[in-house]
Structure formats: C-alpha cells, structure tokens
Chain A
Amino acid sequence: MIEIENLEKSFGDLKAVDGASFRAEDGVITGLIGHNGAGKTTTFRVLAGLMKPDAGHARVDGFDCVTERIEAQRRLGVLPDVRGLYPRLTAREHIRYYGRLHGLEGETLEARIEELIQRLHMDEFADRRTRGFSRGQELKVALARALVHEPGNVILDEPTNGLDVPSARAVHDLIHEMKAAGRTIILSSHIMSEVSRLCDKLVIMVEGRVVMQGSPAELVVRTGHENMEDIFIAAMSGIERRETRSEGREGSAADRKTNRKAAQ
C-alpha cells in the first residue's frame, strides 16, 4: 500500500506539491493524472526516495520514504519518465544489475530475467547493447528493470509511451496480472483511454493539489461527465474557476500557468 499524506515540496518560489494526500490500496490500480507540472513526477520522486518533502509523509507498506528509505525502496518498483539506460550494457545486463541490487542472485535471478524477457517480448534485443534502442525497446528494458524483484508496489510513469499496439497490450496484461496478485499499482498516463481502461481509482492533481479522487464511477457522478477527458477537464476548470475568484490574493491563473511552464 502507498500513502501520501499532506505532502508538500517546493523548488524556490514554486510549490510543486501543495498538501497532496491520497492512498493507493493493494490490488487496486490507481491512476495519478494531471497536466504537465501538476506535481505527479515530484510525488513519484518523493515515493522513490529521491526527494525529501518539505512537509507531510510518503509511505510504502507503512515504511516512511525518508526515514526508512531503504526498506521502502525494497518494496517498490519504479518506472521513471526518463528511462535512463546504460548504452554499453545489454538489456539482460540491465535487468541483472538491478536484480542483484535488490538481493537476487543465481538461478532465481536468471529465471526471473528470462520470464520478463518473454513477457515483454524482448527476445530479439535482450542481448544487444542498449545504444540505439527505440523508445519502445528502452521502455521495456526500464520496465523489466523495475519489476525484476517482483515488488509489492509499482509506480509506472507513462508505462506505454512509445510502445506499439502488441507491446502496449502486453504491458496492460502485465499490469492486470500484478493487480490480480494483489500488488499496489500507481500509474501516470496522458492517454485517457488507457487510464479509463486500466484504473480502478483516479487521483487528479492540479498545481500540486489533489483536486478530485475516487473510482471512475464516482467521478462520473460528481462531474456529470462520462468521458474521462471531460472529467479531467472538469476537474481542472474547477480549480481555475476558484483561482479566478481569488485573484488578487494568491496571484492570477495566468501567473500560475507561467509557474507551471517553469516547473516543466
């Protein structure tokens, strides 16, 4: 289980995450959605133990991501938005390296590597160095690297970005399998059809705040929209209407948009 509680994180004057709170349960796929600069990636980075929050808490299976970072990281698999591969290592070596860092060794590790290679259709390039890989191939390597230790909690930032249809379907199947196995999954995606198809729960972030959360059915009732894109736009415009009303006290919506661009 992943818990975010009153999380705050600023970069200079820019508040990237502003008191966000939500919970991702075991066996549930939680979609964290929002525009660019909404604070999703910063939230993921706090969860991954890469950033310390200014206030609030992030926990993985009850372990605090700051004070018990290593324990939280052991229970987490992260697919970051920047895949970050080593160009001189093969795909297989990437998975092996991360498997070993997570404490796997020997036949157990090799069997797990082989399983991921088969599951993600990586046979053709598994033993090739990653220099010159397509975006889809890079994503598969990064995904396999994140899942090698079969983590109980998984963060997937744009998990199908750049994949062809069969590969995207394979990833979707994998996500469903992880859900069936009772794992906690948080994914972020700009593909609304993917979000509506995969997610059991949605958390919509706007300018560092969680403005709406609930199951897709609940959000349909609350916004009066059935389409995921419309729900997202409704959530965003709700915030902007509030900001327009409070203009003069906290700065205009235009100012916030400028900040948002700076954050990107």
Chain B
Amino acid sequence: MKTTRTSWWRLVSIVFTKEVSDHARDRRSIILSLLFPLLAPVLIGFLLYTVSHANVQGRSQRVIEVPVVGAEYAPRLMQGFRDKGHTLVEMEGSRAELRAKVLAGHISFVLIIPESAADSPTYGIEIITDRTNPRSLADTAEAMRHITGFGRAEAERLITDAGLDPHIAVPITVSQVNVGRAPSQAYLFYNMIPSMLTFMVFMGAVYLTIDSSVGERERGSLEPLMSAPVARWELLLGKSLAGLLYTMAVVAMNLIAFRFALSKAVEGTSGMAPPPSVDVYIALFLLSIPIAALAVGVQVTIAAITRSAKEAQIYLGLLPTVPLVPGLIMVFNPVAPTVGMAMVPVYGQLGLFLELTNGRSLDPGLVAVSVVSTMIAAALVFWLASKLFESERMIFGA
C-alpha cells in the first residue's frame, strides 16, 4: 500500500486526538480531575462566608450581657448600655470569685466601677476579662467601644461646661485620603486565588503525563509507538498539547468554582469588597496558559527520567508545592510586580495574578515580559524533554 509521509502538524494532531480521547475514557481520573479543582474554592468560600457574616453581625450592633459591679455609681454610663439594647447583669462577690467566673467562661467579662465614680467626673473602670477566650474578647471589645465613646462625649461636655473649645481635647486631627481600594478582609481570601490556581496548573495533567510517558513504557506500548514513522518531538508535542488541554480544563473548572464560591460567600454583605469580576477570571485564565505550557513540559521531563510510574507520581505530586509556597507567602506579603520579578517564570505570574485579585490593572509591559520569559522557559524544557524522548532509556527504562 502506498503511504505518504504525513505533515508534522497532522501527526501531532493524530497523537493529540488519541491521547485526549484515550484519557477521556478513564472515568476515575476524569472524576478526580473535575472534583479536585473544587476543593480550594469551596474551602476558601466557606471561610470567607464565615468571616463576612460574622462581620455583618458585628456591624448590626451585637447585643451583649454586661456583668457589672457598682452599676449604681455610674448611672449615665449604664443607661447608655441599656439604650443600645445591652443587658446589665449586676454581679456580687469577691474579686477572686469574679475572676474565677470569667476564667470558667460563665461570664465574658465584668466591669468594676469604683465608688469614686459617684462623686467625681473622672474615674477608672476595671475590666476583668479573658483574652484567650474569643467570645470574651469580642464582648469585651463591644463594651470597650461603648465606654470609650461615652468617655469622649463626657470629655467634650466637661470642656464645654468649663467654657473652652471642645477641640482642645484633640488638638491635632488627621484625615486620610485612600487612593487605593477600600480595605477589606475579603482581599486576604481573594489573594489566595493565585497560589491555588498555580497549584492546579501544576496538578492538572499529572495523571495524563505519567500515563502517556512512563506509563506507556511500563505497558510496553511505547515500543511499537516509537517504531512508527513519527519524529520523537512530534510524539512529545502531541502528548504535551493533550496535557495542556487537560490542564486548562482543570484551570477553567477551578476559576469557575472560585467565581461561584466567592460570590456566594459575600452575597448579602455590604462591608466586604466585591469578589473579582468575570474579566479578572478571564485574565487569570489567559495568563495561566504560559505557565501551563511550562508545567506540562516540566512534568513530561520528570516523567521521562523516572524509572517507574510510581516514582513519577512521587515527584510530580510534590511539584505543585514549589509554586504554592511563594504564592501563600505573597498572600500576607504582597509584592508589587517589577520587570525582574516578571522575568522569573511562575513567580512573575503570581505577582500579576495578585494585582488582578486586588482589583488593580496590569502593566502591559510586565505582562509581555512575563509571557515571553515563561514561553522561553517552556520551550527550553520542551527541548530537553524531546532529547530525553530520543534516548533508549525513554523507551526501555534505565
């Protein structure tokens, strides 16, 4: 039969199609691939939901019980508590007994008002609290807010009564003009998207990569495949593009899950910063493509030099933690991207991702530097992998 040498792109597409359809039939790995990207969005969404709804309660005047000794010495302060809906609970007993009650968690705190408060406009209030108990801490903070506000109002009244300008109590006032986004705890959660996304980029095609390289060698199918008239780089490219497709599908799944989970988490709250918009998610997806190419190249290279699928699983399972660590550090210590940073593959993208999740626009120059440097790195890794595919070790093992 007369056969003709097929064009390289046709051969690459034949290998690509085979790998994609073959792995699409692996139901177990497909289900895992679809579920795994949901974990981080669900977890982070749940945490954000908890924090944002706790804040809603905080802003809508938490009503607390105010255990107090000597309430009768500060009637106006006590009335202020009642006016805000708090419940006064008159306490008795020695200091030791009161401390024991706070420590045991029977009461959050206790205010001790001295007798001198009845005769003097200035007096000190003692609060016995337990700073290791979150409930105690929150209730104490609420009581402190009220007392501080009352104290400020009293100061102004006393100064006015003395015929002075009430501003004398606060001679210097400061007003801030925030040119950035409004501060919000929500950004702490939004800033976790980059590291989790990068983690998924390095996880997305792990199974496919192992199965289509070292797995093929173990199965014995690499020998007949490499006996076919196909250049090794064409085989590698077809397999790698299949890996890239699976990685980007996992990335898309991950971003859709983040979009849904974070939107739901802050729904109905007014103080939290809004979650990233659809545009941000699209930008994150597009900027992930160069890293995904690099990730697949690194995965194929590592899989090619390992002796068994089991060994490859160990190395490739650890690989995603490499970008995860700097990504998590950057959640708490965001770094403004620079040209130098953009030139470092993955690290540069993490910086750009953070800019996006923080609601800032990207510098096109930095985007270009980051994309080009990552694609160069991906090409180098691909070249290395193609050399490994040429070796007998790749077909028959060590």
User: Interface on A for B, CB 8 Å cutoff?
Assistant: 45, 48-52, 70-71, 73-74, 76, 78, 80, 82-89, 97-98, 100-104, 108, 112, 129, 142, 145-146, 149-150
Contacts and interface: CB of A to CB of B under 8 A. Distances in A.
A51 B227 CA distance: 10
A78 B23 CA distance: 26
A142 B14 contact: no
A101 B211 CA distance: 20
A85 B22 CA distance: 12
Contact of A97 (B4, B18, B395): B18
Contacts of B15: 101
A73 B224 contact: no
B253 interface: no
A83 B223 CA distance: 9
A82 B227 contact: no
Contact of A101 (B219, B228, B392): B228
A50 B22 contact: no
B227 A103 contact: no
Q: Which 10 A-B pairs have the closest CB atoms?
A: A84-B220, A82-B220, A150-B1, A84-B221, A73-B229, A103-B3, A48-B227, A88-B25, A101-B228, A74-B229
Interface of B: 1, 3-6, 11, 14-15, 18, 22-23, 25-26, 216, 219-231, 392, 395-396
7 contacts: A50-B223, A83-B220, A86-B219, A88-B26, A97-B18, A104-B3, A146-B224
B14 A50 contact: no
Nearest to B235: A101
Contacts of B231: 70
A84 B14 contact: no
A2 to B, nearest CB: 14
Contact of A80 (B18, B224, B392): B224
A112 B1 contact: yes
A240 B223 CA distance: 33
Contacts of B229: 70-71, 73-74, 101-102
A98 B221 CA distance: 12
B227 A76 contact: yes
A51 B392 contact: yes
A254 B27 CA distance: 52
B24 to A, nearest CB: 9
B223 A100 contact: no
Contact of A142 (B1, B224, B230): B224
For B219, B220, B228, B396, the residue with the greatest tally of chain A CB atoms inside 10 Å of its CB is B228
A215 B103 CA distance: 102
A49 B224 contact: no
Contacts of A102: 3, 228-229
A78 B224 contact: yes
B14 A100 contact: yes
Contacts of B228: 73, 98, 101-102
A209 to B, nearest CB: 22
